[in-house]
Amino acid sequence: MTMVDVTVRGAGIFGLACAWACAKRGARVRVVDPHGVGAGASGGIVGALAPHVPENWNEKKAFQFESLRMSGPFWADVAEVGGGDPGYARTGRLQPVADAAALVLARGRAAGAADLWQGFADWSVERSADDWAPASASGWVIRDTLSARLHPRRACDALARALTAKGADIVRDAADEGVVLWATGWQGLEALSETLGRRVGNGVKGQAALLRHDARDAPQLFADGLHIVPHADGTVAVGSTSEREFSDPTGVDAQCEALLERAREALPILRDAEVLERWAGVRPRARSRAPMLGRHPLAEGAFIANGGFKIGFGMTPKVAEVMADLMLEERDGIPEGFRVEASI
Ligand SMILES: Cc1cc2nc3c(=O)[nH]c(=O)nc-3n(C[C@H](O)[C@H](O)[C@H](O)COP(=O)(O)OP(=O)(O)OC[C@H]3O[C@@H](n4cnc5c(N)ncnc54)[C@H](O)[C@@H]3O)c2cc1C
């Protein structure tokens, strides 16, 4: 007799969240990962849930907006059921405005946000005021109230606890039973590329660091391509490098030190903060650069959730919803550009 309705391969954020969405609908779920929970890209420290700019709206931006909007209730539910703390809070974000032209653009986007973000969050431009603000050549910063943060490693742990509380298994090895979801991150993209004989995606390594500095209620900063994210536990994460070529997927090197130095330049208050951790992981990037969701091209009854790339955590609640719709109810709400076929 089949004991499991859904087997999820991969205990990263995509696998765990899809498992959670299925378990919430009453499915019997088993998550299988030989390396354990959060062993891949999802076991990191940055956790910026930040929106695309509110203009030139498209299906990717709409999907992400919906996902960010779902994130508060999603993570509150996970915390309540399992007792773990994902460290989620909608604390907003500040970005520096470079010059007068950028100021005009930034102000124009406030109107776009009022429309596209449907009153859920604002985009405004204000004078750069205190010492928790990115260095701004114009003296102005953009504040948005849609951005949120969570602690990736703890979010994985919180999901694992919630799944266990719901009766799901999380194991290192098991045979397939029921429908199968492959949420195997960059290794999964490599394996599929090899099987198909063409590249469907690749890994992009990132390094990040964690500092001791308590700014738990402050907004995250995005400056000079850098995310500076205060966490609830009195730490601040700084991310990330973007490396297409790498030989050691989890090794940290001089690029991490350069990142730290840029963060100290962007926000001098961090200059003397103790470095608690340096971390590296590999993001799964599908060929389309968008999430890669849908039916498995080679295996009957199997599905894929991959390609979270740089915004996997922000996309998670909506990815989990559309995958559970498809796997359990044969309802297909996956945007065209996110389909597996867009990358193979
Ligand atoms: C430095 C860095 C900073 C980042 N910052 C952010 C950020 O601020 N905001 C954001 O939204 N995103 C961020 N990301 C991206 C985010 O981490 C990823 O999009 C996300 O973690 C991908 O999740 P995943 O579950 O698809 O992959 P993974 O977390 O890599 O999970 C895949 C899992 O599959 C397992 N696996 C592999 N092969 C098999 C197999 N054959 N069978 C079973 N299991 C298998 C692996 O052990 C792994 O646990 C960042 C990533 C990095 C590296």
Provide the pLDDT for residue 313: 98
Which ranges of 177-292 does DSSP label H, i.e. alpha helix?
185-196, 254-266
Residue owning tokens 């919803």: 321
Determine the 3-state secondary structure of 254 from DSSP. Answer: helix
What is the tens place of the pLDDT at every residue in 186-195?
Answer: 999 999 999 9
* Cβ(284) – ligand 1 distance below 6 Å: yes
What is the tens place of the pLDDT at every residue in 230-271?
Answer: 999 999 999 999 999 999 999 999 999 999 999 999 999 999
Measure the CA–CA gap between 14 and 29, rounded to whole angstroms. 14
Residue owning tokens 């990191």: 44
Task: Give the Å distance between the CA of 285 and the centre of ligand 1.
Answer: 10
Beta carbons of 324 and 74 less than 8 angstroms apart: no
Measure the CA–CA gap between 344 and 333, rounded to whole angstroms. 19
How confident is the model over 308-330, as a mean pLDDT? 98
How many helices (H) and strands (E) the chain has is answered by 7, 16
Task: Give the Å distance between the CA of 229 and the centre of ligand 1.
Answer: 18
Provide the pLDDT for residue 129: 80
Measure the CA–CA gap between 316 and 18, rounded to whole angstroms. 8
Return the closest-CA partner of residue 344 out of 201, 177, 215, 239.
201
What is the tens place of the pLDDT at every residue in 202-216?
Answer: 999 999 999 999 999
How confident is the model over 31-57, as a mean pLDDT? 97
Beta carbons of 31 and 6 less than 8 angstroms apart: no
Provide the pLDDT for residue 1: 56
Measure the CA–CA gap between 266 and 178, rounded to whole angstroms. 50
How confident is the model over 316-334, as a mean pLDDT? 98
Task: Give the Å distance between the CA of 129 and the centre of ligand 1.
Answer: 36
Task: Give the Å distance between the CA of 201 and the centre of ligand 1.
Answer: 14
Task: Give the Å distance between the CA of 11 and the centre of ligand 1.
Answer: 9
Nearest protein Cα to ligand 1, atom 50 = 310
Provide the pLDDT for residue 37: 98
Beta carbons of 148 and 91 less than 8 angstroms apart: yes
What is the tens place of the pLDDT at every residue in 96-106?
Answer: 999 999 999 99
Residue 131 pLDDT > 90: no
How confident is the model over 282-293, as a mean pLDDT? 97
* Cβ(47) – ligand 1 distance below 6 Å: yes
Q: Residue 174 — φ and ψ, nearest 5°?
A: -170, 155
Identify which of 35, 42, 153, 190 to mutate to test ligand 1's pocket (most ligand atoms within 8 A of the CB). 42
Amino acid at 207: Q
Provide the pLDDT for residue 2: 67
